[in-house]
Each structure stands twice: as C-alpha cells, then as structure tokens.
Amino acid sequence: MSSGNATAPGPVRTVGAFGAGVVSGLALTSAAAFGLYTLPAALWLPGLRRRVAPGLAGIGPDPTHVALTFDDGPDPAGTPAVLETLDRLGWKATFFLLGSMTSANPSLAAEVAAAGHEIAVHGYAHRGAARRSPAVLADDLLRACDVVGQATGADLRWYRPPYGSVSCGTFTAARRAGVRTVLWSAWGRDWRAEATPATVVADLRAGVLAGGTILLHDSDCTSSPGSWRTTVGALPLLADELDRRGTRPGPLAEHWSQAA
C-alpha cells in the first residue's frame, strides 16, 4: 500500500545473472503451478468438455434419455412455479441446490425432495473456483452438503460447481465430500434479460440433447430479475421438442442406470 506522502526511491540493487535466474525460475514455477491448478477450467467450454470429458458433460449411454437439471434454488419466487410446471408435464428432474439458498429456505428445499425430484448440491456460496484454494473449496462444499442434506434428507450424489468453473481443487473437494462432479451438455442461457422461452429452447437445441444433460435455473438469485418466468415458459416448448426427438427427460439418477 502506498502512503499519501511521496518518498524518494531507495538505492537500486542488482541481483546478477544467478539471482535473476532464480527470480525468473520462481516466477515461472508459480505461473506453472497456477496454470496446472486452473487448467481444468478450460473444461468450462462446452465443445471441449463434450469431446474430452463426456461424463463430466453429463453425456450418458442412452441417446433416448436427457437429464433435466435446475441450478441456484430453492427460491420462493421461482421454484414453486417450476415444480408446478414439472408436475403438470409429469417430469422429474435434478435440482442443484445452493447451500446459502437452502439455509434461507429449508422448508422449500424439503418440498422439492418431497415432490420426488432428485436433490444435488451446487456449493454453498455461488462463487467460481479459479481463485479459491482447495481448502476453501472443500469447506464450501462440505458445508453445502451438510445444509442441503439436513434440509432434504437426501442422499447427495452430484455436485455442479457454480458457473461450471472447475479446478483441481474442485475434484479434490468432490472426492472428499463423496459426490460426483457433473456439468452439462446443453444450456438454455435462461439467466439473460433478453432470453425468451423460444431462445431458451433454441439454445438447448444447439447443444447435445440426445443422451445429454440440460441446464436451466429455478432461481434468479444470480440471474436477471424474473428470469425464472422465462424458464417456466420454456418448459412446455421443451416438451414439444423432446417429443419430436423421441427423447424422455428425467433426473441424473436414471441417466447412467442402464447401458445403451
């Protein structure tokens, strides 16, 4: 930190060739370590993820099944409307609940589970992984599992890190918590202010639906205000799209349950 008063620079020190090499080596080592730690973040890119890590992308063996998932709840504004629409369609889904939202709305989290939907965990705080240490990531996930598990009574199997941001620490934290990291193969980008039900389905169509995993949101806690209404409006259109494809939606629990 600089003070308000200017001070004269001190004497210039030279480090010599050996010292410069050490400093340079330390800088490169630090950069390399950071690069290795954050390298998995490249898997956030859907195309790359689908090619090199299909399991992480949520691509299962049955092309007639698509896993339907929702992030960021439970939210008193959006979650009940999503639950009502799913019930009307006769669909079950996987809800990746935030620990912070579950702490604020434990009875609603329990309602999601009671409706027969699969409960998964989205971390406690909605923050990316790249600049969080492995210890912080582990503490965050364990805290989320504790809160979500207590509120719902669910056996938690799946973890989706916020923003789909992953690092080596993400996978270490997931192993420690006993959950499997899964992202998505098709997203509706329903969080955008300019999104409409039609654009949500168009964006999903651009991803992998056959045997894939759909990402939508039942909360606008990290999205444009009221964006959950767009999601609710998109679900009947999505039903038409999946019917045309002969694809049935369901939770992640049944996604890998049978080989193709």
Question: Which residues are identified as catalytic?
Answer: 71, 217
Sorted by sequence, the CB contacts under 8 Å of residue 68 that are 6+ apart come out as 91, 92, 93, 94, 214, 216, 249, 250, 251
Residue 83 phi, psi (nearest 5)? -60, -45
Q: Please report where in the chains the tokens 């669909």 appear, as a residue.
A: 91
Q: How far apart are the C-alpha atoms of 189 and 252, rounded to whole Å?
A: 20
CA distances from 176 to 136, 146, 203, 247, 259 (A): 13, 13, 34, 34, 28
Contacts of 154 (CB under 8 A, 6+ apart): 113, 118, 119, 148
